């Protein structure tokens, strides 16, 4: 790839701060690899509501499909909390995912060796867990129709609908099986087939698809049990595939197990350009203070290098640089133990750049 065209949507809260660090990493890697980086910045989320009256404009939606990749920061904040669901910053993200048809959201979660004691799990439980949540991202309960609040005040009814077609289950299933093929070849499909018809269909389609991947050991679990097992035995998970809303919930649980939600990157992929989003939110309580942990955003860039640029070597250098700074004891406030020295966003980003230079010149 000679030129890499990235649409950057920093969004709200800590989004701009962490994205700035992530872009420095991307710039450094591109320079090293001889890739010309073309960045375009656009309004997104609350920032777009303030400027254009809507959380994402049609122009940005159109632009997203022309880029090689879209890099998102974060969206939402108390300023826009009173708006109806349809007008909120979050709607911008949902519209973007739908427009780009990025149906598979890969959310890797692992315990960093240097942060084992930041995890709320006991050491013997956490034991180097390392798994990927493959979350269906453009269907299920988030997008199903009908959806409404209707009726007279006092007698109103609200409804959302969980629907999946067989095709939708097959396409997310394939991404999950392929992901498992590149890892330990263990796939867990998480559903609620004991209660919901749509999830009974999910289970039967996944089982059928599994016949095409005889090397992958496929198992099934109900979502409530999966939540429990994630906390009790996280090291037994390798790849987990699930419905949109279930994936939203389980991936926050996975993030918490790592010790901080500031550590989880994600890639949303489909047939066209991919959308890269850290799993954390906009953290309005610390926004604008230069305190936020940029590591999730930085590792999100590593995922971009892997999935869009198709350079696993460059992605590995970024991951290794992150490992190095954590091993060296560099800590933002979210991952510091009592009494440990705390650095801000910029110092953490600079430490990664320094470690990255070493990784790149060694590799």
Q: Strand order of the sheet with strand 104-110?
A: 36-41, 3-11, 69-74, 274-276, 267-269, 104-110, 130-136, 239-242, 186-191, 217-222
For position 223 contacting ligand IPM by CB under 6 A, the verdict is: no
Contact (CB, 8 A) for 92 and 48 = yes
Question: How far apart are the C-alpha atoms of 117 and 112, rounded to whole Å?
Answer: 10
Catalytic choice (5, 127, 130, 252): 252
Q: Closest Cα partner for 39 from 66, 7, 74? A: 7
- The stretch among 19-27, 89-97, 158-166, 204-212 that binds ligand IPM (CB under 6 A) is 89-97
For position 248 contacting ligand IPM by CB under 6 A, the verdict is: yes
**Binding site partner of 324, from Mg ion, ligand IPM, none, Cβ cut-off 5-8 A by kind:** none
Q: Which is nearer to ligand IPM, 226 or 356 (CB)?
A: 226
Q: How far is the CB of 78 from ligand IPM (least distance, A)?
A: 14
Q: Which is nearer to ligand IPM, 281 or 344 (CB)?
A: 281
Catalytic choice (50, 62, 224, 285): 224
Instruction: Mark whether 117 is an active-site residue.
Output: no
For position 93 contacting ligand IPM by CB under 6 A, the verdict is: yes
Question: How far apart are the C-alpha atoms of 8 and 324, rounded to whole Å?
Answer: 27
12, 90, 306, 324: which one binds ligand IPM (CB under 6 A): 90
Question: How far apart are the C-alpha atoms of 214 and 174, rounded to whole Å?
Answer: 13
Instruction: Mark whether 313 is an active-site residue.
Output: no
Instruction: Mark whether 252 is an active-site residue.
Output: yes
Query: How far are the Cα atoms of 196, 348, 349, 363 from residue 355, in angstroms, in the given order?
Result: 49, 11, 10, 12
**Binding site partner of 93, from Mg ion, ligand IPM, none, Cβ cut-off 5-8 A by kind:** ligand IPM
**Tokens linked to 69:** 């990749």
Contact (CB, 8 A) for 265 and 125 = no
Instruction: Mark whether 324 is an active-site residue.
Output: no
Q: Which is nearer to ligand IPM, 94 or 216 (CB)?
A: 94
Contact (CB, 8 A) for 6 and 16 = no
Instruction: Mark whether 192 is an active-site residue.
Output: yes
Q: Which is nearer to Mg ion, 264 or 317 (CB)?
A: 264
243-262 footprint of Mg ion as x/- string (CB under 5 A): -----x--------------
Tell me the site size for ligand IPM, rule CB under 6 A. 6
Question: How far apart are the C-alpha atoms of 218 and 251, rounded to whole Å?
Answer: 20
Which sequence positions are flagged as catalytic?
Answer: 142, 192, 224, 248, 252
Report the interface residues with Mg ion, using CB under 5 A. Answer: 248
Report the interface residues with ligand IPM, using CB under 6 A. Answer: 75, 90, 93-94, 248, 279
């Amino acid at each position: 790839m000679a030129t890499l065209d990235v649409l950057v949507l920093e969004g709200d809260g800590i989004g701009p701060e962490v994205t700035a660090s992530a872009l420095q990493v991307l710039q450094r890697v591109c320079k090293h690899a001889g890739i010309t980086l073309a960045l375009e910045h656009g309004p997104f989320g609350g920032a777009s509501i303030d400027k254009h009256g809507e959380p994402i404009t049609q122009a940005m939606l159109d632009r997203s499909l022309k880029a090689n990749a879209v890099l998102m920061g974060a969206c939402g904040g108390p300023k826009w909390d009173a708006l109806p669901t349809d007008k909120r910053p979050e709607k911008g993200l949902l519209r973007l995912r739908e427009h780009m048809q990025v149906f598979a959201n890969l959310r890797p979660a692992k315990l960093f060796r240097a942060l084992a004691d930041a995890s709320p799990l006991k050491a013997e439980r956490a034991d180097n867990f390392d798994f990927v949540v493959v979350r269906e991202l453009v269907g299920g309960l988030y997008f199903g129709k009908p959806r409404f609040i209707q009726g007279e005040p006092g007698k109103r009814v609200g409804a959302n609908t969980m629907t999946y077609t067989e095709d939708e289950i097959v396409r997310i299933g394939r991404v999950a099986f392929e992901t498992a093929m590149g890892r330990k070849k263990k796939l867990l499909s998480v559903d609620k087939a004991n209660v919901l018809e749509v999830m009974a269909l999910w289970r039967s389609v996944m089982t059928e698809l599994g016949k095409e991947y005889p090397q992958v050991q496929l198992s099934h679990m109900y979502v409530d049990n999966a939540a429990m097992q994630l906390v009790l035995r996280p090291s037994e998970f390798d790849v987990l595939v699930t419905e949109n809303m279930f994936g939203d919930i389980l991936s926050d649980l996975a993030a918490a197990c790592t010790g901080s939600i500031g550590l989880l990157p994600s890639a949303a992929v489909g047939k066209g350009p991919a959308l890269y989003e850290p799993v954390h939110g906009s953290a309005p309580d610390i926004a604008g203070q230069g305190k936020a942990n940029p590591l999730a955003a930085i590792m999100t860039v590593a995922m971009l290098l892997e999935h869009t640029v198709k350079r696993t070597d460059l992605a590995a250098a970024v991951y290794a640089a992150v490992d190095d700074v954590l091993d060296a004891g560099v800590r933002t406030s979210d991952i510091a133990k009592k009494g440990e020295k705390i650095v801000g966003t910029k110092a953490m980003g600079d430490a990664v750049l320094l470690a990255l230079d070493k990784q790149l010149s060694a590799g």
